[in-house]
Chain A
Amino acid sequence: MRAVIAVIGKDMVGILARISTICAAANANVMDVTETIMQDLFAMIMLIDISKCTEDYAVLVDRLTKAGQEMRLQVHVMHEDIFNAMHRV
């Protein structure tokens, strides 16, 4: 099972490090990362594999969202199926 983490907000030092540290601590493998600028905002999208995740999915989501709040960034964690469903015929 794979999940997408989207981080949106003002660019700063250490975003990638902080998010990937939380993933690593939960044994969620980072498979891909892209960064884009969207209307002056920084957007990082990370694909993670959570099939061997040692934490409950909800706990991981809470941690990531909380880290986002501390850095004043929006963090969204969503199962990849939703994007496949919505954007693929």
Chain B
Amino acid sequence: MALNSKDILETIKMIQEENLDIRTITMGISLLDCIDSDIDKACGKIYDKMMRLACNHVRNGEEIERRYGIPIINKRLSVTPVAMLSAAAKGSPVKFARTLQRVADETGVNYVGGYSALVQKGCAAGDRQLIESIPEALSVTTKVCSSVNVGSTRAGINMNAVALMGQVIKQAAEATADDHCFGAAKIVVFCNAVEDNPFMAGAFHGTGEPDCVINVGVSGPGVVRAAIAKMPNASIDEIAETIKRTAFKITRMGQLVGTEASKMLGVPFGIVDLSLAPTPAVGDSVAHILEEIGLESCGAYGTTAALALLNDAVKKGGVMASSRVGGLSGAFIPVSEDAGMIDAVHRGSLCLEKLEAMTAVCSVGLDMIVVPGDTSADIISAMIADEAAIGMVNGKTTAVRVIPAIGMKEGDTLEFGGLFGSGPVMSVNRFSPSKFISRGGHIPAPLQSLKN
């Protein structure tokens, strides 16, 4: 047999026992040709274009699942930042959100991302209007996700937008207070946002992208953990090597699925996002990988170093496995979606400050973190500013997705259910950053030399 039975059994074990899956196939669709000064006409064009391109997206995904026997958890769509359409059209941008929801319902996709604005240097026409409409848009829709880019290494940080986003997140949580404050879980605030990210809530279709493209996000923290568990006495070099090998295999699967999906849909293949995306399922946790490397509990001293090693090895292994790598690529550390992180918070070993340090070396940022409902908008803005500063200075993507749990306090738990898990309400430093946030203005872009 040309195939090795050991390889076959290894693959089956990865899928059956170690939760290996394709996390998402995301179709990016440009809406630039749907711009119209009449908002209703624009919505009509959006609906027609998206339905034309994406009507078979879910069915094709299921067909690939069957053929290869690999679970594909999400089928998603991402679109051009809606602020660009809103700039031309008069009227409430919430109409666009409703159109995206209608497309999501009729195509059967899990989420549509791109209710977004890029304001790292300032707000253009449509941007402010869109940002202010986010709480309403997310409360009247269930499948629309929103993101706002407030900073970049080249542009600096737009502190006016940072101040605004603190309020927007708070309002989104309040508007969905009877639905687990879920509105806030559908907003990401970025620094150095990428244009081809297939993961939610931050996916949008950048303006430098082709008209329509397929991006794939792979997952598999459980596979990496299982591989490390087999080498209890290995040195760190050997662990890095094993993670690279494992990441290679996982990414090859993503590459295959992406190529296949793009062939079936007649749409160009974009990128594979080599991310270790955890789920609340037992054994599918990034925190457990760090613990397997040798930490008693995630959050202990050494966590940042172990995460840096993991993140880098995943990229090195994945890059060789795919013709095009992009998106966020790295290890995600969403607290509520990771059983190991949740336990670490309950144990008292993982706090917000440690998570912030971890974001300096991992894929994204403060992700799916539940904070007390009475946390002020200014404190949330200041968290965003800190995170954006880490991204800006280190030339990496960072993000904030915090959920103020309205009516809850530290120690309570906010249950989301499904892939979003449950979030322990974390303790927040209450000293006021209000004066800093209220100054407004812009943090200049950092120097790219004299790096110390």
Residues in A lying within 8 Å of B, measured CB to CB: 4, 6, 8, 32, 34, 36, 38, 43, 45, 47, 57-58, 61, 74, 76-87
Q: How far is the CB of A88 from chain B (nearest CB, A)?
A: 9
Is A34 a contact partner of B67 (Cβ separation < 8 A)? no
In the complex where A6-B12, A34-B1, A76-B12 touch, is A83 in contact with B66 (Cβ < 8 A)?
no
CB-based nearest B residue for A3: B67
Is A45 a contact partner of B8 (Cβ separation < 8 A)? yes
Is B252 a contact partner of A85 (Cβ separation < 8 A)? yes
Residues in B lying within 8 Å of A, measured CB to CB: 1-5, 7-12, 15-16, 66-70, 249, 252-253, 255-256
Contact partners of A61 in chain B: CB under 8 A: 66
Contact partners of B253 in chain A: CB under 8 A: 82, 85-86
Q: Which of B4, B9, B66, B68 contacts A82 (CB 8 A)?
A: B68
The docked-state distance in angstroms from the alpha carbon of A19 to that of B449 is 66
The docked-state distance in angstroms from the alpha carbon of A36 to that of B11 is 16
In the complex where A6-B12, A45-B1 touch, is A87 in contact with B7 (Cβ < 8 A)?
yes
The docked-state distance in angstroms from the alpha carbon of A8 to that of B11 is 13
Q: How far is the CB of B11 from chain A (nearest CB, A)?
A: 6
Contact partners of B1 in chain A: CB under 8 A: 32, 34, 45, 47
The docked-state distance in angstroms from the alpha carbon of A32 to that of B8 is 14
The docked-state distance in angstroms from the alpha carbon of A50 to that of B182 is 46
Contact partners of A32 in chain B: CB under 8 A: 1
Is A58 a contact partner of B69 (Cβ separation < 8 A)? no
In the complex where A4-B8, A43-B9, A45-B8 touch, is A86 in contact with B66 (Cβ < 8 A)?
no
The docked-state distance in angstroms from the alpha carbon of A87 to that of B252 is 9
The docked-state distance in angstroms from the alpha carbon of A58 to that of B63 is 9
- 13 new A-B pairs (CB below 8 Å) besides A36-B9, A78-B69, A83-B11? A32-B1, A43-B5, A45-B1, A45-B8, A76-B15, A76-B16, A79-B68, A82-B68, A83-B7, A83-B8, A86-B11, A86-B249, A86-B253
Contact partners of B12 in chain A: CB under 8 A: 6, 8, 76, 78
Contact partners of B256 in chain A: CB under 8 A: 81-82, 85
Residue from the set B5, B7, B249, B253 with the largest chain A CB neighbour count within 10 Å: B5
The docked-state distance in angstroms from the alpha carbon of A4 to that of B9 is 11
In the complex where A78-B68, A81-B68, A85-B256 touch, is A38 in contact with B11 (Cβ < 8 A)?
no
Contact partners of B10 in chain A: CB under 8 A: 87
Is A86 a contact partner of B16 (Cβ separation < 8 A)? no
Contact partners of A58 in chain B: CB under 8 A: 66
The docked-state distance in angstroms from the alpha carbon of A32 to that of B253 is 24
9 example contacts (A-B, Cβ-Cβ < 8 A) are as follows A8-B12, A45-B1, A61-B66, A79-B67, A81-B68, A83-B3, A83-B7, A83-B8, A85-B253
- Nearest 5 interchain pairs by C-beta: A78-B69, A87-B7, A85-B256, A32-B1, A85-B252
Q: How far is the CB of B325 from chain A (nearest CB, A)?
A: 15
Contact partners of A76 in chain B: CB under 8 A: 12, 15-16, 69
Residue from the set A32, A74, A82, A86 with the largest chain B CB neighbour count within 10 Å: A86
The docked-state distance in angstroms from the alpha carbon of A85 to that of B252 is 6
The docked-state distance in angstroms from the alpha carbon of A77 to that of B11 is 12
